[in-house]
Amino acid sequence: MNVLVLGGAGYIGSHMCKLLSTQGHQVVVFDNLSTGHREAVKWGPLIVGDILVKDDLENLFAQHEHFDLIIHFCAKSLVGESVKQPNDYYRNNVVGTLNLLDQMVKTGHDKLVFSSTAAVFGTPSVEFIDETQPRLPINPYGQSKKIVEDILQDYFQAFGLKSVCLRYFNACGADPDADIGERHEPETHLIPNILKSVLSGSQQKLKVFGNAYPTADGTCVRDYIHINDLASAHLLAGQYLDNNQGAYAFNLGNGSGFSVLDVISAAEHVVGNKIDYDIEEARAGDPPVLVADATLARQALGWEPQYKEIEKIIATAWGWHQNERF
């Protein structure tokens, strides 16, 4: 297949490109390099451009052969930042995606896999979140993704644009060969922050955001899913659209919840050291518990996550952070 990966210089996008390439597909990356890295684009050409600039998208489609599949990762994705800068989140995530969709319709492209998020669910009232749960986001990031999910329904009805939204729970880990990995500036995610605190000899001491949540140990519980398992779901989702006509959504997680303190303890086993931390105030917009029920993705897509143990996931991230190449 000829695949366009928007946001292919980023964390999830670059792992996607490696998987596509190793499976024999051709990849073109489109990225504005705002958070992505030129060095992470290793499996196909990089077109530097912005989904907010309509001319950039027009040129992209004008200069390439037809794409068999389009995978769209370009987004602003920090919950806390979205609370402070909702304008940027709605503009980039909603308006930028509309620009892409309109270009797709104009150029006769009808297959999209879209990065959505567990944040569309807000603070769910059930332990395991399946696709029947109401989408009630509690921050502008989640709201921006929910709006795009709804737009995709309408674009299918009006224009026949087929799509799969994949709602990631907590993406983590790295390529086991350590060619690519997670690198955000500033880093806000738990596992890289734990490992960076270890590598800094506790100079960048880990902060645990909140210990009075209604959970067993008072810290937030999340469902950590390996980046390569997410990537494989995108490929399966693209294949799903060959035989299914519609706008679909699937939740992607391992189905097990780990508290922040559980993750720290698993990381201690991986690195072989005790990890110090300070308890800080809870972050704005963080729900207490988010754990997926991914039964539908398993059944419909035939998806089976390979990394089921949190320590194995952390070990791949540790392999990357000890020797970051960019």
Residues that bind ligand UDP (CB under 6 A): 79, 170, 188-190, 193, 207-209, 220, 222, 260, 283, 286
Taking Cα atoms as reference points, which of 248, 256, 237 lies closest to residue 294? 256
Could you give the 3-state DSSP secondary structure of residue 50?
coil
- Nearer to ligand UDP (CB atom), residue 38 or residue 274: 274
- Nearer to ligand UDP (CB atom), residue 103 or residue 144: 144
122 vs 287: CA distance, rounded Å? 7
Shortest reach from residue 104's CB to ligand UDP, in Å:
28
- The residue number with the shortest CB distance to ligand UDP is 220
Tell me: cis bond preceding 186? Omega within 30 of 0 counts.
yes
Q: Do residues 52 and 99 make contact, with C-beta atoms less than 8 angstroms apart?
A: yes
Could you give the 3-state DSSP secondary structure of residue 15?
helix
75 vs 91: CA distance, rounded Å? 10
Shortest reach from residue 195's CB to ligand UDP, in Å:
11
- Please list, in sequence order, all residues whose beta carbon lies within 8 angstroms of the beta carbon of residue 158, skipping any fewer than 6 positions away: none
Shortest reach from residue 181's CB to ligand UDP, in Å:
15
- Nearer to ligand UDP (CB atom), residue 46 or residue 190: 190
Task: Tell me if residue 90 is catalytic.
Answer: no
Q: Do residues 182 and 9 make contact, with C-beta atoms less than 8 angstroms apart?
A: no
User: C-alpha angle 55/76/248, rounded to 5°?
Assistant: 85
145 vs 136: CA distance, rounded Å? 11
- Other Cβ atoms within 10 Å of 208 Cβ, number: 21
Q: Do residues 160 and 104 make contact, with C-beta atoms less than 8 angstroms apart?
A: no
- Nearer to ligand UDP (CB atom), residue 64 or residue 218: 218
Shortest reach from residue 193's CB to ligand UDP, in Å:
4
Which tokens sit at 42? 């290793």
Active-site pick, 11, 89, 90, 141: 141
Q: Do residues 120 and 137 make contact, with C-beta atoms less than 8 angstroms apart?
A: yes
- Nearer to ligand UDP (CB atom), residue 99 or residue 228: 228
Q: Do residues 67 and 113 make contact, with C-beta atoms less than 8 angstroms apart?
A: no
- Nearer to ligand UDP (CB atom), residue 245 or residue 273: 273
Shortest reach from residue 75's CB to ligand UDP, in Å:
13
Shortest reach from residue 291's CB to ligand UDP, in Å:
11
96 vs 89: CA distance, rounded Å? 10
135 vs 300: CA distance, rounded Å? 21
Q: Which residue numbers are catalytic?
A: 141
